[in-house]
Amino acid sequence: EWIPEGDTVFYTATGMMHQLNLDVIPIGSGRRLLDRNTFITCSSLSVVTQTPYGAGNIHNIIAFGGMQYDLSEQEWNQATASFPQPGSFPGLSGSLKGSSTWTFLPGTFQEIQAISKLESAVVHVVAYSGAEAVEEQIKALGPQNPPDILHIATHGFFIPPDHGEELDVMDRSGLLFSGANAAWSGKPAHGHEDGILTSREAANLFLPHTRLVVLSACETGLGEASGYEGVYGLQRAFKAAGADYLLMTLWTVPDVQTAYFMQYFYQSIADGNGIETAFQTARTLVRKRYTNPYYWAGFVLLH
């Protein structure tokens, strides 16, 4: 009651609050908090004064999706021929070895196809899919080709502490790129990155000029909550890499609803709206189609 209706509220979360979407809390009469106020989730309240929220035009988008999680040696060699061989990397493959492998996500390929259609005289789009969407590609991003938006549509993983005790907290979450099944099953290909981008590796990417990172994958917003220090995982990683905003999911949103959300979001961006306005527009439009919060409340935007 002490916050006037219609005001914008900037807040930071602590502990398990990072894994909740406050906007969805019912306030009676069929309304939710997002119907009363605009809530902006911040990694730190210092960002409020650093950047005029929602401002800034988007001119350059790099998108990854439609990953091919199984690659032949020939496909891998062709995809990575222009990249130097990776240096020695601590063998996380054995620790991350899973009981099953990752399957192709057709919805993620459709996502980046839709994003590619935004190509215009104002917006330049580069999309990587299939064998091209290898880990080497994202690690090659640097000051010569910084994206305004980096969109990654793929499987994400989060290993709880009791299932990955031998791993450091930043090695228990990450994203899967093409060819990842080899390392995930304990048989990493030699001379290539392993296709498993851990949060530790993501934190070392060069993204100081990137306005937004979109992680369109299951549970990309999850991580290990550590009191006032925030969430150790992909949230912390991409903020450490320099991104202004992160758009993530707290649970697996079905392909159809994800496609609608991304379509509305990027159309709003193409119309010249800021990131926060585009996010709120997309969420509102998906909510009109599907009243069940399961289909739209999983998307969260972190500044």
Identify the band that residue 226 occupies on the pLDDT scale cut at 50, 70 and 90.
very low
Identify the band that residue 96 occupies on the pLDDT scale cut at 50, 70 and 90.
low
- Note whether residue 24 is domain-resident: no
Q: Which of 225, 206, 202 is closest to 215 using CA atoms?
A: 202
Give the Cα separation of 125 and 147 in Å (integer): 9
- Note whether residue 4 is domain-resident: no
75-93 pLDDT, tens digit per residue, is 988 988 888 766 433 444 4
**Per-residue pLDDT, 207:** 94
**CB contact set of 231 (below 8 Å; sequence gap of 6+):** 18, 19, 221, 222, 223, 224, 225
Identify the band that residue 49 occupies on the pLDDT scale cut at 50, 70 and 90.
low
**Per-residue pLDDT, 50:** 61
98-137 pLDDT, tens digit per residue, is 557 899 999 899 999 999 998 887 789 999 999 999 999 9
Indicate the number of domains in the chain.
1
Strands 26-28 and 31-32: antiparallel
- Note whether residue 83 is domain-resident: yes
**CB contact set of 217 (below 8 Å; sequence gap of 6+):** 152, 153, 154, 155, 156, 175, 249
**Per-residue pLDDT, 230:** 41
Mean pLDDT, residues 261-282 taken together: 91
Identify the band that residue 225 occupies on the pLDDT scale cut at 50, 70 and 90.
very low
- Note whether residue 263 is domain-resident: yes
- Note whether residue 50 is domain-resident: no
Per the structure, the complete domain to which residue 121 belongs is given by: 60-273
- Note whether residue 119 is domain-resident: yes
Identify the band that residue 65 occupies on the pLDDT scale cut at 50, 70 and 90.
very high
Q: Which of 51-65, 85-99, 130-144, 195-209 has the lowest mean pLDDT?
A: 85-99
3-state DSSP: the chain helix, strand, coil percent, rounded to 5? 35, 20, 45
Percent of the chain with pLDDT over 90: 37
